[in-house]
């Protein structure tokens, strides 16, 4: 079923004369391309007293570079329908570029300028700083953000993962221009640059553009060392907020995409809470009892400590029941791997739906980038469904113990009844 879909996507590894690597899926049906790239330059490398530095820096890369001040740079993008977006997460600084074929050369030149000659003029620094502060204040009243933030803060207290990606008003206020310049000079390096490209371009054309765009970056990064870490588990924390519905984050250590158990973990996660209406949590929490509109789990690829995380939102007076149901389903999977029928259903979904995740240039570029970041290899798209099918009962028993046996960390934003506040 749909096997030719993933097989039909031909992935090339392009290595430019200057040694820049990218995965490319050439696709000529619409005259544009999508590119996604990442550097290991995320928030985990921010100094504790300047948390939010990578995030602020990402927000400023498209705010003026080379001869273009902020408005001129934005005008070059907008007038040419070029989309450039930069963001930072815990581990990475990511950039997405989308351009019509007609404006391709110019788009890559703007990307080169953003990466190598960002201006960091005073006006955009203060403007984007103001936007970050306004966004933080807005997030203070978003229970999903509050619960998620509290989860990471408790799980990784004292480690870079425990600090907020976006910083705090105090740390944001401390960031100076030289800090931003240092992020670009020290963290944006060729050694861990990963690139995925999909769309209307061939390998030779791309190779030339890769050299022109990225050759000016330093080869080696100069980043502070970061230590592996494991999350602190076991607590249930309540973050009081005056809202009618409590929002819950829960989770434990997960499995990374390069781990031999990864595909078994995706099957287990599908059965628990990753499979929408096919998942046990959706059945128990929503379908049988009407306790929530959404309840879900997912595997989060954190470079130093992969996680599995989940969420549910239930009225304050009934949320304790939702959390109990989550605990019970997690414990059940820890004791006993999914039933044969569930495993078979998960496999047909995960293999059959794989082409759906590769149907647009944006999706493909992101997938190719992930393959490079996680070292999965150029032929991963061809191998992936066989890897899912090859998962055995023993694999699932092992991975279920690994994922689900042990304590959860749970954070709740709201006014939950029957939970220690």
For other proteins, the binding residues in 177-206 under the rule CB under 8 A are: 200
Question: Any residues with CB less than 8 A from the CB of 344 and at least 6 apart, and which?
Answer: none
- Closer CB to other proteins, residue 36 or residue 200? 200
Q: Would you state the structure tokens that stand for residue 49, as one six-digit string?
A: 């007293």
Cβ closer to other proteins: 258 or 353?
A: 353
User: Taking CB under 8 A as the criterion, which residues in 335-374 touch other proteins?
Assistant: 345, 348-349, 351-356, 358-362
Give residue for tokens 């550097």: 39
Smallest distance, Å, CB 241 to other proteins?
A: 7
* Helical (H) or strand (E) element with 237: strand 236-240
Distance (Å, whole) CA 158 – CA 396: 33
DSSP string covering 89-151, please? Answer: -SS-EEEEEEEEGGGHHHHHHHHHHHHH-B---HHHHHHHHHHHHHHHHHHHT-HHHHHHHHH
Among 12, 47, 74, 121, binds other proteins (CB under 8 A): 74
Binders in 99-118 for other proteins, by CB under 8 A: 100-103
Q: Tell me the closest approach of the beta carbon of residue 144 to other proteins, in angstroms.
A: 9
Identity of the residue, 71 or 336, whose beta carbon is nearer to other proteins in the bound complex: 71
Specify the stretch interacting with other proteins by CB under 8 A; choose among 48-56, 69-77, 367-375, 393-401. Answer: 69-77
Binding mask 25-64 for other proteins (x = CB under 8 A): --xxxxxx--------------------------------
Q: Does 269 bind other proteins (CB under 8 A)?
A: no
By CB under 8 A, name the one of 227, 277, 340, 420 that touches other proteins: 277
Question: Cα separation of 186 and 47, whole Å?
Answer: 13
At residue 25, the 3 state secondary structure works out as strand
Output the six-digit token pair for 9.
Answer: 């996507």
Residues 144 to 173 in contact with other proteins, rule: CB under 8 A: none
290 near other proteins, rule: CB under 8 A: yes
End-to-end CA separation in angstroms for the chain: 51
Output the smallest distance, CB 403 to other proteins, in A.
Answer: 21
């Amino acid at each position: 079923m749909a096997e030719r879909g993933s097989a039909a996507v031909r992935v090339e590894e392009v290595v430019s004369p200057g040694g820049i690597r990218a995965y490319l899926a050439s696709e000529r049906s619409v005259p544009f391309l999508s590119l996604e790239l990442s550097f290991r330059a995320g928030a985990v490398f921010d100094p504790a007293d300047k948390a939010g530095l990578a995030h602020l820096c990402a927000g400023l890369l498209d705010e003026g570079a080379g001869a273009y001040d902020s408005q001129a740079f934005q005008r070059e993008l907008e007038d040419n329908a070029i989309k450039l977006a930069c963001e930072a997460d815990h581990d990475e600084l990511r950039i997405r570029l989308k351009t019509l074929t007609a404006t391709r050369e110019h788009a890559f030149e703007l990307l080169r300028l953003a990466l190598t000659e960002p201006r960091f003029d005073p006006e955009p620094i203060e403007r984007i700083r103001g936007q970050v502060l306004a966004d933080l204040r807005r997030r203070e009243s978003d229970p999903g953000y509050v619960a998620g933030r509290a989860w990471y803060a408790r799980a990784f207290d004292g480690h870079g993962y425990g600090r907020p990606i976006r910083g705090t008003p105090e740390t944001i206020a401390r960031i100076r221009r030289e800090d931003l310049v240092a992020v670009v000079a020290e963290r944006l390096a060729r050694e861990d640059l990963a690139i995925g490209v999909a769309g209307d371009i061939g390998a030779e054309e791309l190779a030339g553009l890769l050299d022109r765009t990225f050759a000016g970056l330093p080869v080696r990064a100069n980043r502070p060392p970061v230590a592996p870490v494991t999350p602190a588990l076991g607590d249930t924390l309540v973050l009081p907020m005056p809202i009618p519905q409590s929002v819950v984050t829960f989770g434990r250590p997960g499995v990374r995409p390069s781990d031999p158990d990864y595909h078994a973990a995706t099957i287990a996660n599908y059965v628990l809470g990753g499979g929408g209406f096919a998942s046990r949590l959706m059945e128990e929490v929503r379908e049988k009892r009407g306790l929530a509109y959404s309840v879900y789990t997912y595997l989060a690829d954190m470079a130093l400590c992969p996680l599995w995380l989940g969420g549910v939102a239930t009225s304050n007076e009934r949320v304790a029941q939702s959390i109990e149901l989550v605990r019970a389903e997690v414990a059940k999977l820890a004791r006993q791997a999914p039933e044969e029928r569930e495993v078979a259903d998960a496999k047909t979904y995960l293999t059959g739906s794989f082409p759906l995740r590769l149907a647009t240039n944006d999706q493909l570029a992101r997938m190719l980038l992930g393959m490079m970041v996680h070292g999965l290899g150029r032929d991963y798209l061809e191998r992936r469904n066989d890897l899912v099918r090859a998962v055995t009962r023993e694999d699932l028993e092992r991975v279920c113990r690994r994922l689900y046996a042990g304590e959860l960390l749970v954070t709740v934003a709201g006014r939950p009844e029957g939970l220690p506040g």
